[in-house]
Amino acid sequence: MIQKYDVIIIGAGAAGLMSAIEAGKRGRKVLLVDHATKIGEKIRISGGGRCNFTNTNTHPSKFISKNPKFPISALSQYTQNDFINLIKKHNIKFHEKKLGQLFCDESAQQIVDMLLLECQAANVNLKKEIIITDIYKQDDQYFITVGSDKYLCASLIIATGGLSIPKIGASKFGYEIATKFNLNIIETLPALVPLTFNRKILTMCRELSGLSLEAVVSFNKTFFEEGMLFTHRGLSGPSILQISSYWKLGDNIKINLSPKLDIFKFLGSEKKLNPKRDINNIISEILPKRLAYIICKENDVRGNISELSNKSLKQISNSMNAWIINPTGSEGYRTAEVTVGGIDTNEISSKTMMSIKNPGLFFIGEVVDVTGHLGGYNFQWAWSSGFVAGQYA
């Protein structure tokens, strides 16, 4: 027997749950399915268990897409304030951590519970552990096969997310459906991910493992000034995660380990004023001791600053103010927070999130070629794009 719905949503993550709530509120008969055993796992583990659910500075410039204007419509139809109001309605307490990033005071599970409650109120039929074996279109209706069961709907929403963290349910499914319906896909890559390096830099990272500092990390004209962390696998921390979404394999990144200080100028004046001072002691004033020691060693400088040529002072300054390194890769989807690339936004209406070639077929959330910066923007994209599809499906 075929079960008929107005709207079927595949993927009960952030975007899928939001679209189900909105479509349900409009009186549509909604089925929301997921192949996972637990609903909303990515929300639950997000933000270190506190879910950075939005950012008060949400603006289209905080998103990466082949078409940077694409997110404008959805972000204005459902803003960060709309989601904040929903949180307030459910009495979930939250705080701003930094840079407009809003986190739950208690637990990310509160967001999952809130969305499930809203689904219930909107009469959404939610089914987990559903393995879809086929999807096809016939006479403007979409048919979904699940083993021996069949479902049909007029509006099908794909909300299967990106490829990061496969062990909690990420799959290629959304991209495969897009290909099946002749939609173009922008190359997908792990993003908001730690970067890895050759043996020489890796050895240094290992020696400094656990050390963090404020740094400006740049790639071409894009730069981020946030924390950077040395780890036993390479470099991480917010500034590295942010730049990883832009960096291309084979290219260099530039790191300023002391953004507030022109080190060459500072060393020049030290040489004049305190010629007998040891260079390692001077650098230790600027950077953490362990890092200062390694920088002096790598640059092969020691002794009184007066004994060092301006050329070697320039070299050592550059290694701090403009350290140029070539990542060999990233930690990949195993640890990436998101996927850049995805369904080409040229294929989708920015106003409705519906496929232009396939009326009734919608794509929302991370599966689309829209990726937010670190800081709650990816959830805001999921809420906004989910809301929009929920209005038109």
Ligand X SMILES: Cc1cc2nc3c(=O)[nH]c(=O)nc-3n(C[C@H](O)[C@H](O)[C@H](O)COP(=O)(O)OP(=O)(O)OC[C@H]3O[C@@H](n4cnc5c(N)ncnc54)[C@H](O)[C@@H]3O)c2cc1C
Q: Note the residues at the interface with ligand X (CB under 6 A).
A: 10-16, 33-36, 42, 45-47, 51-52, 132, 159-161, 164-165, 169, 171, 173, 337-338, 365-366, 376-379, 382
Rounded Cα distance, 158 and 174, in Å: 6
CB of 173 to ligand X, least distance (A): 3
DSSP string, 183-226: --EEEEEEES--EE--HHHHHHHHHTTT-EEEEEEEETTEEEEE
Nearer to ligand X, 132 or 286 (CB): 132
Nearer to ligand X, 13 or 71 (CB): 13
Nearer to ligand X, 122 or 165 (CB): 165
CB 183 within 8 A of CB 343: yes
Helix (H) or strand (E) holding 64: strand 63-64
Nearer to ligand X, 185 or 202 (CB): 185
Nearer to ligand X, 317 or 352 (CB): 352
Residues 6+ apart with CB under 8 A from 266: 286
CB of 46 to ligand X, least distance (A): 3
Rounded Cα distance, 338 and 329, in Å: 16
- Tell me the residue nearest to ligand X as measured from the CB: 13
Place of tokens 């290992």: 206
CB of 187 to ligand X, least distance (A): 18
CB of 277 to ligand X, least distance (A): 45
DSSP string, 6-72: EEEEE--SHHHHHHHHHHHHTT--EEEE-SSSSTTHHHHHGGGGT-EEEETT--GGGEE-SSTTTHH
CB of 162 to ligand X, least distance (A): 6
Nearer to ligand X, 19 or 321 (CB): 19
Nearer to ligand X, 126 or 263 (CB): 126
Place of tokens 């390096």: 197
CB of 111 to ligand X, least distance (A): 10
Q: 64 has which bridge partners? A: 371
Rounded Cα distance, 93 and 99, in Å: 18
CB of 193 to ligand X, least distance (A): 10
